[in-house]
Amino acid sequence: MTDFTIVLRSLRVRAFSTLVTIASVAVAVMLIIVLLTLRNSGKAAFERGSGDMHLLVTAEDSPLVSVLNSVFYANAPRRPITWARYQQLSQQAPWAYAVPTAIGDSYRGFPVVATTTDMFTKFVPASDAPWKLRAGAYFPAGDEGNWQAVLGSTVAQTTGLKLGDTIYLAHGYNPRATKPGSPDPAAKHDEHAHDDHDHDHDAHNEESEEAPGAAHVHMEFPTKVVGILEPTATPHDRAIFTNLESTWIKHAKDIRERMPPQTPPLEAPKTSADLRESEKLITGIYTRLVTRPGSDAPANLPQVFDLLRRDGSLTVAQPKQETDTLFGSIIDPINRIFIAIAIVVLITSGIGIMLALYNSMEQRRRQIAVLRVLGASASRIFNLVITECAAIGLAGALLGAAIALIGTRFAASIVLTRYGVVIEPHLSPIIIVYLLAATILLAILAGLIPAIMAYRTSVAKSLRPTA
Amino acid sequence: MPALSIRNLVFAYAHRDADNPFSLRIPTLTLDQGEQLLLSAGSGSGKSTLLNLIAGLMDPQQGSIEVAGQNVHALTGASRDLFRGRNLGVVFQTFHLLQGFSAIENVMAAMLMADKPASEMQPRAAELLSKLGITKINALVDELSVGQQQRVAVARALACKPALVLADEPTASLDPTNAAAAMDLLQGLCKEQNAALLCVSHDPTMASRFTKRITMEELIAASAGGTGFQPVREGAHP
C-alpha cells in the first residue's frame, strides 16, 4: 500500500463524480489534439497533393481555385485552354515537364483526368510515392490508348473494378451532386442495351428522359480498365486517368450532334486526326522547371512565373504558396477560434475538478481527520489532494489523447472518402507531452483551494461524534 | 518509563463564549506500560478535550503530556503527527473507518501513515485481523457488520504497536453482546502488546472490566488531593 492507493480509493468512493470530471477533461484534451492534428495533417496533405510540380497553369479565375480544382478535384474547371496554346506554352520555358490535363468527366462521382502518358512518366505525385502499378499497365500514347482507363487506388477499392472491366464515363463532374462511389448510372443503360442492340440510339433517348442535372453517360464509348495504381496518399488516388484523345473525340461527337441544322453536317470523329483544333481543349497544365541535381528550387521560377502571368487568359499558381495562403488566411484563423474554444473547455473542466473536490471536502473532513490521527501530516494530506487532482488530470488527458488518436483516424477516413484529401493523422509527441503536462498542471492548480482546505482541516472538530 | 504522564496540565479555549468559559486542570495523571484505566465521564466534562490534548491535536496553555517518555507538545508539525501515528492508537466511538477501503487496507493505512516499512504492512495487518476473527479481510468495511467494523478499528489502533491506546466510548455504537466481545478483544490485545489503555466511557457495565477506575467525582477529589484529573468551570475554581 502506498499514498497513491489512498488517492485511488478516495477517487473510487466518489466514482460518479470522478468519472464525470475525467470525462470533461478528456473532451477538452481531445478537442485540442484533434484540432492540432487535423490542422498539421491537413496542411501536409494539401502540400502533398501537388507533388513535384512548380507551377500549375489554368484558365480559372484565381490561383487558389486552380489548385483546388485541378489538383484536388474540388470541382470541374470552368474555362479551357486550347491545345495550340498548350503547345506554344510548352516551348516558352525550360520545362522538365508540362503535363496537360482535362477534367470534366466522371465515373460514379470520381473525377476523370484526361492526360498524356507524361502524367505517369514525368509527374511525381508525392516525393515518397511515385506512380506504381498494382496491376495492368498504363494506356499507350496517342490514339492507341483510346478508351482505356487507369484507376487510382481509392477508385478501385471503392468500386471494386478489376482489370478488363468496362466502364461508361459520364459527362460532367460535380462532387456535390454525386458522391464518390455512388451507384453506376450506366447500369440502367446497360439493361436497355441488352434488350436493344442499338444502344447508341437507346442511350440518346434515355438521355432525353433524364432528370435535369443527371449525368449524361457516354454509353457509346465503353472504356476498358487497363491499369490499377498503388496508393499514393494524394487526391490522385480517387481519379480515373484516360488519354486526352478519347475525351476530345467523345465531346466532339456531342458538339457535332448538337450543331444547328443549317450548318454543314460533320461526321462523328473516330480518331484524333478527325478532330478540329477547336475541339482539342484542356483545363490545366502541371509544370516543373529544370532544376540542378539535388535542388527543388529553380532559379528562374520567378521569371517564368512573371512571363506566364503576362497572358491575361491564363492563371498561374504555385501550389505550395496557394496552400500556405489557404491555411494562413482562412483555415488558421478558424483553427485558432476552435483551439481557443477548446482551451476554454479545458479551463472549465479545471474549474469542474475544483468544484468536484471542493464539494466533496465537507464529506471528506472526517476521513482527512482520521488520516491525521493515524499520523499523516497536514502537508501529506495536502499532497494527497493534489495527487488526486493530478490523477484526474492525467486520466482525462490520456483518455482524451486516446479518443483523439482514434477519432482523427476515423475523421481522416471520412475526409478521404468525401473530399479526397488524404490526411495522415500525426502530431508531434512533444506537443502531446506538453499538452498532457499542461492538463496535469491545470488540474493541480484547480486542486489548490481544496488542498488548502484539507491542509487546514481541524482534526478535533472533524472527529466530534455526530448526533 | 510510564506510557502516559500528565503534569500540571492547564487548558482553556481561547475563543470560548464569555458566558460559558471552560478550562481543564490536571495536576498529575500517570499510566504505566500495560496498565488499563477507565475514565467515567459524562458529556461536556472535557473528556474529548483531554484525549485531543494527549493525542497532540490541541496544545495546553501550561503543563506537559508525555507519551512513552516524549513530551508530545515539544514536537511540532509533521514530527508530532508521525510520533502520534507510531505511539498512539485511537479507537473512536463511531469507528471512523476509511470508507471505500477494505478491512485490511484500513489497518495498513495506519501503518502507512506511520511510515512503517512496506514489507511489514500486509503480514501485520492480516495477523491482527485474524486474531480479531475477521476472515473477510479484503471486504470493504461498508460490507462488514457493526461488530466487525469495531474489531477492524481495534486492529487499526494496535497496528503500529503503540505505547498507549485511547478508546473514546468504544462500545457506544454496539449492542451488549458485541460491546462485550469488542472490549474483550481490545483489552486482551492491549495486554498482549503491553500497551497502556485509557478508556473513556459512561457505560456503567464497563466498570467491572477495569481494576483502575476514575469517575468524575473521584477526579475532582483527586485533583484537590494533588493527583488526578479535574474539569472545572472557569471562575468556580478557587
Question: What's the pLDDT band for A198 if we cut at 50, 70, 90?
Answer: very low
Contact B109 A373 (CB under 8 A): no
Residue A461's pLDDT is: 81
- Beta-sheet strands, E only, within A147-299: 148-151, 166-167, 170-171, 216-217, 223-229, 240-243, 281-282, 284-289
Q: How confident is the model at residue A185 (pLDDT cuts 50, 70, 90)?
A: low
CA angle B68, B69, B73 (to 5 degrees): 95
- Taking an 8 Å cut-off on Cβ atoms, the answer to whether B109 and A374 are in contact is yes
More confident call, A153 vs B178? A153
- Cα-flanking dihedrals φ and ψ of residue A280, to 5°? -100, 100
- B4-232 falls under which CATH superfamily? P-loop containing nucleotide triphosphate hydrolases (3.40.50.300)
Does residue A42 surpass a pLDDT of 50? Answer: yes
Please answer yes or no on whether B113 and A371 come within 8 Å at the CB atom: yes
Residue of A nearest to B88 (CA): A374
| Angle CA A365–A370–A371, to nearest 5 | 100
Structure confidence at residue B147 (pLDDT): 87
**Whole-number pLDDT of residue A35:** 78
- Chain B hits for A373, Cβ within 8 Å: 55, 57, 84, 90, 96
Q: What share of chain A is helix, strand, coil (3-state, %, to 5)?
A: 55, 15, 30
Residue A53 and residue A287 in contact, taking contact as beta carbons nearer than 8 Å: yes
Out of B92, B101, B160, whose CB is closest to A9? B101
Q: Note whether A228 and A136 are within 8 A (CB).
A: yes
pLDDT recorded at residue A207: 40
pLDDT given for residue A127 in this prediction = 82
Can you give the pLDDT at residue A201?
38
Model pLDDT for residues B128-178, shown as the tens digit of each residue: 999 888 888 999 999 998 889 988 999 999 999 999 999 988 888 888 888
The pLDDT of residue B15: 63
Query: How confident is the model over A305-313, as a mean pLDDT?
Result: 90
pLDDT score of A211 = 44
Long-range contact set of residues A161-166: C-beta below 8 Å, sequence gap at least 24: A161/A225, A161/A228, A162/A225, A162/A228, A163/A135, A163/A136, A163/A225, A163/A226, A163/A227, A163/A228, A164/A224, A164/A225, A165/A224, A165/A225, A166/A222, A166/A223, A166/A224, A166/A225
The predicted structure's pLDDT at residue B238: 29
Work out the end-to-end distance of chain B between its first and last CA atoms, rounded to an integer number of angstroms. Answer: 33
Instruction: Dump pLDDT digits (tens) for A101-147.
Output: 999 999 998 999 999 999 999 999 988 889 999 999 999 999 999 99
Q: d(Cα A441, Cα A389) in Å, to the nearest integer?
A: 9
Cβ contact (<8 Å) for B96 and A3?
A: no
Determine contact: B141 vs chain A, CB below 8 A: no
pLDDT higher than 70, residue A202: no
Q: How far apart are CA A176 and CA A318, in angstroms?
A: 26
Tell me the per-residue pLDDT of B1-13, one tens digit each, with 9 for 90 and over: 889 998 888 888 7
pLDDT of residue B79: 93
Q: Would you call A375 and B114 a contact, using CB atoms and an 8 Å cutoff?
A: yes
What are the domain boundaries of chain A?
A: 3-44+325-462, 55-317
For A371, the closest chain B residue by CA position comes to B113
Residue type, B121: M
pLDDT at A330 exceeding the cut of 60: yes
Hey, which of A114-123, A191-200, A298-307, A438-447 has the most confident mean pLDDT? A114-123
Cell readout for A63 is: 490561383
Per-residue model confidence (pLDDT) at position B216:
58
- For residue range A429-440, what is the model confidence (pLDDT) as tens digits? 888 898 899 999
Give chain A's end-to-end CA distance (angstroms, integer). 34
- Tell me if B50 sits within 8 A of B24, measured CB to CB: yes
Asked if residues A366 and A457 have their Cβ atoms less than 8 Å apart, the reply is no
Q: What is the pLDDT of residue A97?
A: 95
Contacts of B90 in chain A (CB under 8 A): 373
How many Cβ contacts (< 8 angstroms) between chains A and B? 83
Q: Spell out a b/e string for A36-66, using b for 16 or more CB atoms within 10 Å of the CB, else e.
A: bbbbbbbbbbbebbbbbbbbbbbbbeebbbb
State how far the Cα of A258 lies from the Cα of A260, in Å rounded to an integer. 6
Contact at CB, A376 and B101, closer than 8 angstroms: no
User: pLDDT for A70-79, tens place per residue?
Assistant: 998 988 898 9
The residue type of A155 is V
**Mean pLDDT over each residue of chain A, to the nearest integer:** 84
Phi, psi at B108, each rounded to 5° = -65, -30
Q: Which helix (H) or strand (E) holds B40?
A: strand B36-40
pLDDT, residue A181, reads: 67
Chain B nearest-CA distance from A399, in A, is 24
**Cell numbers for B73:** 507538545
10-residue mean pLDDT series, chain B (238 residues): 88 66 76 91 77 90 92 92 94 87 94 92 92 90 90 92 92 84 90 93 86 69 45 35
Residue B213 C-alpha, separation from nearest chain A C-alpha, in angstroms: 24
Q: What is the mean pLDDT of residues A18-22?
A: 90
